[in-house]
């Protein structure tokens, strides 16, 4: 190659690097700190993607449940096939953790009843 071709190629590579950085900035905004509302995204956490984390959140879980119920009623064979694709142990561990934290977070309902001795 000639010097002119090398310079043209270097210019193209610079512009590509700049456009990649812009795309990364737009498509992958910086995550908040661990104390914020967006999780850190450790590779050990399940689910790892932010989309799945949103779906598994409180509101997203209701939407996913409604969709799964509708799919189970409309096409049970497809729903069961999709269910088999989930990592069972990890999902079960996550559901148990949610259940235990929900039980711990509930206040004792019997304490506020009239006539209850303290």
Cα-Cα-Cα-Cα dihedral sign, residues 17, 21, 24, 26: negative
* Closest listed residue to residue 52, CA positions, set 4, 1, 86, 102: 86
Confidence of residue 91 (pLDDT cuts 50, 70, 90): confident
* Closest listed residue to residue 51, CA positions, set 33, 39, 62: 39
> Is the model more confident about 5 or about 55?
5
Average pLDDT for 103-108: 73
- Name the packing angle between helices 58-74 and 76-84 (round to 10°): 130
**Does 68 score more than 80 pLDDT?**
yes
**Contact (Cβ atoms closer than 8 angstroms) between residue 32 and residue 38:** yes
**Does 41 score more than 60 pLDDT?**
no
Q: pTM for this structure?
A: 0.35
Residue 83 to residues 37, 69, 72, 76, 78, Cα–Cα distance (Å): 29, 12, 10, 10, 9
DSSP 14: H
**Does 117 score more than 60 pLDDT?**
no
Backbone angles phi, psi at 91, to 5 degrees: -65, -40
């Amino acid at each position: 190659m000639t010097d002119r071709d090398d310079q043209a190629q270097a210019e193209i590579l610079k512009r590509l690097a700049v456009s990649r950085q812009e795309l990364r900035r737009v498509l992958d905004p910086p995550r908040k700190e661990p104390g914020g509302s967006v999780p850190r995204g450790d590779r050990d956490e399940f689910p790892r993607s932010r989309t799945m984390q949103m779906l598994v959140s409180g509101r997203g879980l209701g939407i996913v449940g409604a969709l799964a119920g509708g799919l189970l009623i409309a096409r049970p064979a497809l729903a069961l096939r999709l269910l088999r694709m989930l990592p069972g142990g990890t999902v079960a561990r996550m559901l148990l953790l949610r259940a235990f934290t929900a039980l711990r977070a509930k206040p004792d309902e019997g304490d506020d009843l009239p006539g209850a001795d303290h």
